[in-house]
Amino acid sequence: MKKIGVFLCHCGINISATVDIEKAMEALKDYPGVAHIEDYKYMCSDPGQQLIKKKIKDLGLDGVVVCACSPTLHENTFRLTVKAAGMNEYKMEMANIREQCSWVHKDKTVATEKAIKIIKSVIEKARLDEALDPIEVDITRKAMVIGAGVAGIQTALNIANSGYEVILVEREPSIGGKMAQLSETFPTLDCSQCILTPKMVEVSNHPKIKLMTYSEVVDVSGFVGNFKVKVKRKATGLDWDVCNGCGLCTEKCPKKLPSEFDQGLGERKAIYRPFPQAVPNRVVIDFENCTYMQSGKCGICQKVCPVKAIDFDKEDKFVEEEVGAIICATGFETYSVKDIPEFGGGKLPDVVDGLTFERILSASGPTGGEVRRPSDGKVPKDIVFLECVCSRDPEHYLPYCSKVCCMYTVKHAMLYKHRVHDGQPYVFYMDMRTGGKGYEEFYQRAAEEDKVVFIRGKVSKLYQDDDKIVVCGVDTLSNETIEIRADMVVLATAIVPSKGIRELTKLLKIQIDQHGFLSEAHPKLRPVESLTAGVYLAGCAQSPRDIPDTVSQASGAASMVCTLFANEKLKHEPIIVGVNEDICSGCGICTVVCPYDARKTNLEKKLVEVNEVLCEGCGACAAACPSGAAQQNNYTDNQINAMIKAILGKGG
């Protein structure tokens, strides 16, 4: 019989407060297969791991059950521990008596009983575990970055500068993302474009970076080190290889439309470049609004184009790329003012969101950096900024803090005051959250030097009265209701994940949280990885964050990719489903349920053959096999049935 060591972790008091460790040990010590049982306060700590190693060596254990937290957290830790002691790492099993037992039950007797059942079932599994060796797989040392805002740009540059090839995919015609729209950045007030555009140019000139703008990922298959990604290159209506970006077409195009880049305040044409510093410096045709595409009349752009690049080709093209790692940096949007009826529901022109105000402040914006309100172009003398719009409001909107609004609102108020010296900015806030280097000082400066009036309280309603916006709020420090007749109001609306993220995460097989932000593998220790190996996260797609945080996290994701690429070979989990050739009749039922085409029927040999590299180990085929020839490594029918018995008190 196998000699199994059972190690119970107290996890401080996380487990031992509700699971009676002593009682559990008493109940388990004579369980068949158990050669040794021991407890320790923190099994994952170095002394804890040393203890396991020592017992493996001293007692010649050939199976280990660690009764502690979720395997998601420490399976890898303990696998490495037993491996270091010379035991095969797949003979280590974890019994989850924390997340699925001690934390969810209060009654000690009940929790202890349940923990014993869980541990017994895992001992049963360990008794039948076989030694497995990881399957070695080649790596494609090329990364794909999805989303080319500052997060994607930083990641791409870091990876490319390490010598690996990068494909940078962006949905919009130009890279740059939201940061390209910003005016100045807190707390240093350097111009956003000035610090971003050099990076954008570096990307476009980098020999290791292949840029795919106006493109979307439509299909992803494969696994870490060996992804196949299908990218749709949206039709631009012209040949980008021929176009030189002179912009004559955009000058002559007669069709004017609101510019997305200027948040609808400025104009663009039906053939357009999103903004003058766009990278790549190319134009696209907006098919839906192009007169020629809709009616067949016009075609002026084609006539004036000096290099004859315009072909009105509407056909999207699809390309397939093989990459070893994918970084998801799809960014954010802001909660639409249209969906906030108490603040006018988008019907009041002088109530704008933060991004729109960035355009108003920007030297390259529709007003050339002069603060003028949208309705009549007047310079607003009383301006009100509202923070936490739709954030921190679980009753009506979103429960989370959007993190950047405190700081950018302070910046807005400050920049406004720098441009309109006789104007008065007011800020309604819930709490000022100014954690960050130089942030608190920046806030103090706004209050003291720029005389921004900060009012602690929320606003319940905005309405138009003559040419004023009436702001009805409350000052919770003086406990008085306040009404301000403002010329303009800026809403710091909540940060939400960008559209289409749900579909993308389904393709990438990564998780999102309840608000649609990407989930990290571990909130503290693995913050830039997804739970799917080879897929990494960067930027606001994961949660709201400012530029410094985004850039450092982007570099973190890049370094994870480089760490992956530094491996000679990748190790593929050996928990695959093989074929017992003595039993298999070649019926092929298992091949039908396999999602990866890993199983093929060999009609000559009347056998099913397995491509071990393709098998991801879901086990669907094992359950389908009528004869039991397909068994999943370390998840065999015998093991599962033994676990069932153990849980129902019939084990051993």
- The site for other proteins (CB under 8 A) is made up of 70-72, 96, 98-100, 103-107, 110-111, 113-114, 117-118, 121, 340-342, 345, 396, 461, 463-465, 470, 506, 509, 511-514, 519, 531-532, 575, 593, 595-596, 616-620, 622-624, 632, 635, 637, 640-641, 643-645, 647-650
Residue type for position 359: R
* CB closer to other proteins, 101 vs 209: 101
- Distance, CA of 18 to chain centre: 35
* CB closer to other proteins, 45 vs 70: 70
Backbone angles phi, psi at 252, to 5 degrees: -85, -20
As a whole number of angstroms, the distance between CA 75 and CA 635 comes to: 16
Q: Which of 63, 67, 69, 66 is nearest to 34 (CA)?
A: 63
Closest contact distance (angstroms) between CB of 105 and other proteins is 5
Q: Six-digit token pair at 77? A: 């830790």
Question: How many helices and strands, by DSSP H and E, does the chain display?
Answer: 17, 32
Closest contact distance (angstroms) between CB of 643 and other proteins is 5
DSSP code of 324? S
Closest contact distance (angstroms) between CB of 360 and other proteins is 24
Closest contact distance (angstroms) between CB of 31 and other proteins is 16
Closest contact distance (angstroms) between CB of 43 and other proteins is 17
Closest contact distance (angstroms) between CB of 160 and other proteins is 30
H helix or E strand, kind and range, residue 602: strand 599-602
Closest contact distance (angstroms) between CB of 501 and other proteins is 14
CA distances to 172, 351, 565 from 169, in Å: 9, 34, 20
**Under 8 Å between Cβ of 627 and 585:** yes
* CB closer to other proteins, 121 vs 362: 121
Task: Give me Rg for the CA atoms of the chain.
Answer: 30
Q: Six-digit token pair at 373? A: 């309100």
DSSP code of 540? G
* CB closer to other proteins, 593 vs 613: 593
As a whole number of angstroms, the distance between CA 12 and CA 41 comes to: 6
Buried b (16+ CB within 10 A) or exposed e, 625-649: beeebbbbbbbbeebbebbeebeee
Question: Can you say whether residue 478 is alpha, beta or left, with left for phi > 0 and alpha for psi between -120 and 50 degrees?
Answer: alpha
Closest contact distance (angstroms) between CB of 93 and other proteins is 10
* CB closer to other proteins, 88 vs 519: 519
Q: Which of 75, 83, 91 is nearest to 129 (CA)?
A: 91
Q: Which of 503, 553, 507, 561 is nearest to 533 (CA)?
A: 561
* CB closer to other proteins, 342 vs 449: 342
- Distance, CA of 444 to chain centre: 33
* CB closer to other proteins, 42 vs 596: 596
Closest contact distance (angstroms) between CB of 538 and other proteins is 20
* CB closer to other proteins, 113 vs 172: 113
Buried b (16+ CB within 10 A) or exposed e, 282-297: bbbbbbebbebbeeee
Closest contact distance (angstroms) between CB of 221 and other proteins is 9
Closest contact distance (angstroms) between CB of 466 and other proteins is 8
Q: Which of 197, 173, 57, 78 is nearest to 126 (CA)?
A: 78
* CB closer to other proteins, 407 vs 501: 501
Question: Can you say whether residue 603 is alpha, beta or left, with left for phi > 0 and alpha for psi between -120 and 50 degrees?
Answer: alpha
HSE of 423 in the Cβ direction (CA atoms, 13 Å)? 24
* CB closer to other proteins, 42 vs 635: 635
* CB closer to other proteins, 382 vs 573: 573
Residue with token string 């954690």: 435
Closest contact distance (angstroms) between CB of 464 and other proteins is 7
* CB closer to other proteins, 312 vs 596: 596
* CB closer to other proteins, 291 vs 375: 375
